[in-house]
């Protein structure tokens, strides 16, 4: 996105300079510059009739819910053929997100979510999670064009990068009545949703990642000190009110991630120590076999054979005992690692579905460094 912004600005600056110079030379009216610098607007392609559709899905509670996305063909192709000549900035992104030409598209798409909301009896915060998961599951476009796509194109093509997916989610949530904004950080974009609690990321807005399945609210490692907020026109008023719960879940998951790394490090360390001891033990075992062969073949006397055999047999016994102890310790640590992996995955899954159940699991599995051992 950073490269896109730079090129957008460069193109516009050069265009303005060239056109201003031309106008000065021709003593022309320069009022057209105001139009050049105004936010973008989507102009439908009136040569296109009918609609364009695609099938979308959202995985909720392990159940795949499919629905059809439909858009007016004139809107879709008008948006698809759009090439920005506007300065990238607040008006640019916000204008593309809340373009009035997209109102029908947003409302039609939200209508597809309503049966799913009723099916699971979702409250307002859970409804945010449902819509967010749909956008997060849209494949990421690693080869995104310099020009950002309108949300209708992102949805129908089922492909987008961080800014395109963020604009789509922000537009949907705004039309669903939520107070949202776009959050810009260097090289990245997220969605902000108004909250009154500790989950706020910047200026009273919690952050929502759109590029991958990540929940709950403010599940991001971006630095709020580098972020800027882009407000949207005709926004909603509903707030996200489960921030205290989601913050506790976030804190637990971030701490568990570090804790998990410690356990993984311990497991790996024990494994390599175990393999080193096994190699030494096997060497002693092989050496004892060679001694037996030489003695049986009469290639060495008993006086030569006996002390060597005793020495390496004693080493073998000690190493074999150490290898058993290390293996048991490795096995215990690996089981601990596997257990916490299940906890992490379960809490993460419930975090987007049932916050209370996620918190119950957290309280049943308090983090305690004594559950693993360092070698």
Strands (E), the chain: 51-60, 63-72, 180-185, 188-194, 205-208, 228-231
CB 209 within 8 A of CB 189: no
Instruction: With CA atoms as reference, report the closest residue to 184 among 231, 227, 223, 233.
Output: 227
The domain limits of the chain are 2-239, 247-371
The helix/strand/coil state of 329 is helix
Express each pLDDT in 182-211 by its tens digit: 999 988 999 999 987 767 888 889 999 998
Express each pLDDT in 72-118 by its tens digit: 999 999 998 875 444 444 567 888 999 999 999 999 999 999 999 99
Lowest mean pLDDT among 19-28, 52-61, 145-154, 210-219: 19-28
> Which residues fall within 8 angstroms of residue 189, CB to CB, at 6 or more apart?
1, 93, 162, 163, 166, 182, 183, 210
313, pLDDT greater than 60 = yes
Q: Which alpha helices (H) appear in 214-301, and where do they start and end?
A: 243-296
- For residue 335, what pLDDT band results from cuts at 50, 70 and 90? very high
- pTM (2 d.p.): 0.70
Express each pLDDT in 137-175 by its tens digit: 999 998 877 678 999 999 999 999 999 999 999 999 999
């Amino acid at each position: 996105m950073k490269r896109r912004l730079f090129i957008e600005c460069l193109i516009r600056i050069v265009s303005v300079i060239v056109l201003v110079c031309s106008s000065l030379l021709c003593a022309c009216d320069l009022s057209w510059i105001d139009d050049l610098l105004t936010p973008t607007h989507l102009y439908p392609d009136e040569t296109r009739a009918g609609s364009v559709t695609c099938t979308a899905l959202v995985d909720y509670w392990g159940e795949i819910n499919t629905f059809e996305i439909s858009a007016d063909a004139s809107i879709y192709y008008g948006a698809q053929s759009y090439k920005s000549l506007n300065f990238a900035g607040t008006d640019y992104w916000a204008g593309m997100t809340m373009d009035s030409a997209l109102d029908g598209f947003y409302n039609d798409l939200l209508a597809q979510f309503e049966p799913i909301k009723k099916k699971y009896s979702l409250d307002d915060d859970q409804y945010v999670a449902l819509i967010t998961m749909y956008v997060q599951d849209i494949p990421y476009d690693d080869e995104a064009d310099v020009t950002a796509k309108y949300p209708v194109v992102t949805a129908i093509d089922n492909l987008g990068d961080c800014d395109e997916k963020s604009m789509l989610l922000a537009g949907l949530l705004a039309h669903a009545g939520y107070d949202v904004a776009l959050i810009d950080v260097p090289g990245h974009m997220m969605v902000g949703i108004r909250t009154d609690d500790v989950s706020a990321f910047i200026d009273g807005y919690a952050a929502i990642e759109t590029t991958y399945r990540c929940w709950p609210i403010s599940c991001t490692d971006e630095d709020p000190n580098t972020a800027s907020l882009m407000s949207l026109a005709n926004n909603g008023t509903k707030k996200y009110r489960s921030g205290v719960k989601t913050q506790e879940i976030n804190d637990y998951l971030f701490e568990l991630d570090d804790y998990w790394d410690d356990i993984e490090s311990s497991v790996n360390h024990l494994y390599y120590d175990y393999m080193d001891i096994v190699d030494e033990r096997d060497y002693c075992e092989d050496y004892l076999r060679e001694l037996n062969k030489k003695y049986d073949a009469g290639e060495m006397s008993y006086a030569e054979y006996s002390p060597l055999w005793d020495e390496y047999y004693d080493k073998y016994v000690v190493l074999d005992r150490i290898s058993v102890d290390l293996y048991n310790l490795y096995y215990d640590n690996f089981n601990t690692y596997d257990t916490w992996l299940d906890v992490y995955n379960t809490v993460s899954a419930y975090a987007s579905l049932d916050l209370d159940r996620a918190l119950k699991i957290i309280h049943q599995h308090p983090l305690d460094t004594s559950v693993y051992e360092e070698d």
